Structure 1
């Protein structure tokens, strides 16, 4: 709800909603003590129909060779290196298709038999989720003035005078390499 992922609507005639379920995990520290509890709502994407609920599922990721080249540049030019993981990455991707999902257990609002969630953004479990996240990331990073590498769609660079920054995307993990440490913190 906080991420504005769906609208609650009446299920149109002839439409079939996909299911969803909660996945619960307990995160523990190195000593086995409970650190936190995590809950993630996951769509039952295995029930999606190609051509109806999704068209494409392919999402590019950076290659090992690109990673090696960036690491060689880091070592050779003594660049600053920063790694980050994007939390709730998939929830940022916009949905192109019309997908209805049953209301999650514990959320039920209105008539659960007729009211469903019309997805506006992707959620975990959808076949096109990582693809939609990549498209959103690409759109935003280009707006920051980055240019995509011609050989690897998941490597970006930006040059500004003597300052430069390289960005490598692997699903929801980002590696930043720059000759100016301040460049690495523009994403925090």
Structure 2
């Protein structure tokens, strides 16, 4: 995103339809006949898979291997991450970012962009979403005249607040209060208090906050890091601090 904003290049998005069905399998795998598809005696006859299918433990891995083989054959190379690719042709360049079935394409050449889209559509069933506007729960707001890109997780945060009953809470001015201190001495000391805290989805709440922090809200990184220290044995003070972060968001 930073490169796209800095160099004012194109940013498009594509979606792979039924991505996991594209993978090949290396093993011999049988499955019980699916409901409403019965051949012969369903109690004694099973299906032998010739391709990957949703539900296999290795489905996502096999899909990645298939995609990697195909995209490398088109001249792309791995950039710094196994799911980030680039291709250069003189001064023209294009970056491809893959996240399961979501693809972002960033390039300084429209011709290269359309060529890559045609190649992907030829090898996989694709959906061209045009200019990237929403990916992984993150809304992308772009103003090319100012050379800026804004990232927002408003809808995601709204869902988090609703899940933990904080959607109508009073907004907070800060994610952490001056003087807040956390220590292991605050953790439950007896089984009764441990059982009381087990009713609260503390770890889920902190995990939800962590995703927002990593993607678009680095301003809560400090307090989320502190709350993460007590995932295994939280106390009510830690839960109150997590709710304060939600009010701030």
- Decide: shared fold, TM above 0.5: yes
TM-score by length of 1: 0.59
**Residues 131-163 of structure 1 deviation map (CA, whole Å, 9 limit, x = unaligned):** 0000000000000110112x3111100011221
SS at match of 1:169: strand
Q: Which has the higher helix share?
A: 2
SS at match of 1:83: strand
TM-score by length of 2: 0.45
1:172 and 2:101 are equivalent in the alignment:
yes
Superposed, 1:149-188 pairs within 5 Å as: 149=79, 151-185=80-114, 186-187=116-117, 188=121
User: RMSD between aligned alpha carbons?
Assistant: 1.2
* Residue-pair matches, total: 117
Match of 1:110 among 19, 40, 63: 40
Superposed, 1:39-78 pairs within 5 Å as: 71-78=1-8
SS at match of 2:67: helix
Point out where structure 1 has 5 or more consecutive residues left out of the alignment: 1-70
The higher radius of gyration belongs to 2
Q: Which has the higher strand share?
A: 1
2: CA distance, partners of 1:127 / 1:184: 33
SS at match of 2:2: helix
Superposed, 1:120-159 pairs within 5 Å as: 120-149=50-79, 151-159=80-88
Point out where structure 2 has 5 or more consecutive residues left out of the alignment: 122-249
Of the structure 1 ranges 81-90 and 104-113, higher mean CA displacement relative to structure 2 is found in: 104-113
2: CA distance, partners of 1:116 / 1:181: 49
2: CA distance, partners of 1:132 / 1:138: 10
